[in-house]
């Protein structure tokens, strides 16, 4: 393992003004997204949709540091025959790959899941490196509901994340470590803080046991927010303060950067929260975005599967990328939304 090289990639992924596009929807998830805009989820439509984003050159070059791809996309060519990973590189961004096989029910833990995908991962990583991936992603899912999460669930997921991260570094690939505490449910922001702190502490303990070098990872956590159905919704300022507080308690300063998931927040909320944190400052890491829905909801709606809408979809994507790029520097304000 060349840690200096891994660190260089990790730093590039969280470079000021830039963040990550999470375009790694698995087949089931992209179908759901396409269903919502009445587009059939064919291989060609998935390619066309993703290619339109990767060819939004201004956005990709200035505001997107890396793109998380699904296996199919890393192997796909653009319409003109150029591999999509090459299109991303030509725009100045880094191709990455989702390597987990999804969250599966955890035995004897009703309502909880453990993310699978470790079998054969060493071999898959070697192939992904050859295909151009320089970072990877693994998402663990922790749900909050009465009586859960259990230690069993947090521990199983933290161990899997740590083994994945070690395998990535062995293969000279930067692991994005994503323990997502879901915002579904009616829990308070305090409960989200409590569970996220517990989860992050277990994850960093397991990363230590697995001998993962923290200088060569990027953390992708949830923000500390109220459950979607909680009657008491926290303000932007409260989200920023609570998130920084929990992360300061749990994340070592050797980690180069934190790239948040959006988790179902509206796109403007996700931008406002990131901006508020960066305006507050006072933490040792770069803080940016690794958004899926909060970057793609607008372009998906604008595109609606029609060739004549490609320019409008690219504009919608470029706008969100620019807004989040500004938020990563604490330079966004609502007036810029237009
Ligand atoms: C883009 O969605 C990713 C893949 O989800 P599935 O494996 O369920 O298809 C997802 O992991 C995503 O990268 C993160 O959750 C961040 O996306 P959001 O939409 O929460 O910002």
> What is the separation of C-alpha 334 from the centre of its chain, rounded to a whole number of angstroms?
23
Strands (E) in 25-98, as ranges, are 64-69, 94-98
Closest CA to 85 of 51, 126, 127, 35: 51
Residue pair 163/209 in contact by the 8 Å Cβ criterion: no
CA of residue 89 to ligand 1 center, whole Å? 22
How far is the C-alpha of 154 from the C-alpha of 148, rounded, in Å? 10
Q: Is 220 a catalytic residue?
A: yes
Q: What is the DSSP string of 301-329?
A: HHHTT-GGGHHHHHHHHHHHHHHHHHHTT
* Catalytic residue chosen out of the listed positions 178, 180, 202, 242: 178
Residue 338's pLDDT is what?
Answer: 86
How far is the C-alpha of 94 from the C-alpha of 180, rounded, in Å? 23
CA of residue 67 to ligand 1 center, whole Å? 12
Which sign does the torsion angle of CA 241, 242, 245, 246 carry? negative
Q: Which residues line ligand 1 (CB under 6 A)?
A: 22, 24-26, 29, 68, 102, 139, 180, 261-263, 291-294
Residue 93's pLDDT is what?
Answer: 98
Which sign does the torsion angle of CA 235, 289, 211, 136 carry? positive
Out of 13, 24, 258, mutate this one to test ligand 1's pocket (max ligand atoms within 8 Å of CB): namely 24
Residue pair 298/323 in contact by the 8 Å Cβ criterion: no
Of all protein residues, whose CA lies closest to atom 2 belonging to ligand 1? Answer: 25
Tens place of pLDDT per residue across the chain (338 aa): 999 999 999 999 999 999 999 999 999 999 999 999 999 999 999 999 999 999 999 999 999 999 999 999 999 999 999 999 999 999 999 999 999 999 999 999 999 999 999 999 999 999 999 999 999 999 999 999 999 999 999 999 999 999 999 999 999 999 999 999 999 999 999 999 999 999 999 999 999 999 999 999 999 999 999 999 999 999 999 999 999 999 999 999 999 999 999 999 999 999 999 999 999 999 999 999 999 999 999 999 999 999 999 999 999 999 999 999 999 999 999 999 98
Residue pair 155/197 in contact by the 8 Å Cβ criterion: no
- The second-level CATH assignment, the architecture, of 3-331 is Alpha-Beta Barrel (3.20)
**CA separation (Å) from 44 to 40, 48, 77, 152?**
10, 6, 10, 41
CA of residue 175 to ligand 1 center, whole Å? 15
pTM for this prediction: 0.98
Residue pair 323/336 in contact by the 8 Å Cβ criterion: yes
Tally of CA atoms within 13 A in the half-sphere of 325 that contains its CB: 19
Backbone angles phi, psi at 50, to 5 degrees: -70, -35
Task: Give the 3-state secondary structure of residue 133.
Answer: coil
- Delimit the domains of the chain by residue range: 3-331
Q: Is 178 a catalytic residue?
A: yes
Out of 13, 22, 180, mutate this one to test ligand 1's pocket (max ligand atoms within 8 Å of CB): namely 22
Burial class (CB in 10 A: 0-12, 13-18, 19+), 213: middle
* Catalytic residue chosen out of the listed positions 98, 137, 220, 286: 220
Residue 265's pLDDT is what?
Answer: 98
CA of residue 296 to ligand 1 center, whole Å? 11
Q: What is the DSSP letter of 70?
A: -
CA of residue 181 to ligand 1 center, whole Å? 13
ipTM: 0.92
């Amino acid at each position: 393992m060349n840690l200096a090289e891994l660190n260089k990639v990790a730093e590039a992924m969280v470079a000021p003004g830039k963040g990550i596009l999470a375009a790694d929807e698995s087949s089931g998830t992209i179908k759901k997204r396409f269903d919502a805009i009445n587009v059939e989820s064919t291989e060609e439509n998935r390619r066309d949709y993703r290619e339109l984003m990767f060819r939004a050159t201004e956005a990709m070059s200035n505001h997107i540091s890396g793109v998380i791809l699904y296996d199919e996309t890393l192997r796909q060519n653009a319409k003109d025959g150029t591999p999509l990973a090459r299109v991303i590189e030509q725009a100045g961004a880094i191709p990455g790959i989702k390597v987990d096989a999804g969250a599966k029910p955890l035995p004897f833990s009703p309502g909880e899941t453990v993310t699978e995908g470790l079998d054969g991962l060493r071999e898959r990583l070697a192939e992904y490196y050859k295909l151009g991936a320089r970072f990877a992603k693994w998402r663990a899912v922790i749900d909050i509901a009465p009586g859960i999460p259990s230690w069993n669930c947090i521990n199983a997921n933290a161990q899997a994340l740590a083994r994945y991260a070690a395998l990535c570094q062995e293969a000279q690939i930067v692991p994005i470590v994503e323990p997502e505490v879901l915002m579904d449910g009616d829990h308070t922001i305090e409960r989200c803080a409590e569970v996220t702190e517990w989860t992050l502490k277990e994850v960093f303990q397991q990363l230590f046991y697995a001998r993962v070098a923290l200088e060569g990872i990027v953390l992708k956590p949830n923000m500390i927010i109220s459950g979607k159905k909680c009657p008491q919704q926290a303000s932007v300022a409260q989200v920023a303060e609570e998130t920084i507080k929990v992360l300061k308690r749990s994340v070592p300063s050797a980690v180069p950067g934190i790239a948040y998931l959006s988790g179902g927040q509206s796109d403007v909320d996700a931008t406002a929260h990131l901006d508020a944190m960066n305006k507050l400052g006072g933490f040792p890491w770069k803080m940016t975005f690794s958004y899926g829905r909060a970057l793609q909801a607008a372009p998906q709606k604008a595109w609606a599967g029609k060739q004549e809408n490609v320019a409008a979809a690219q504009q919608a994507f470029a706008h969100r990328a620019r807004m989040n790029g500004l938020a990563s520097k604490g330079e966004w304000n609502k007036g810029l939304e237009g």
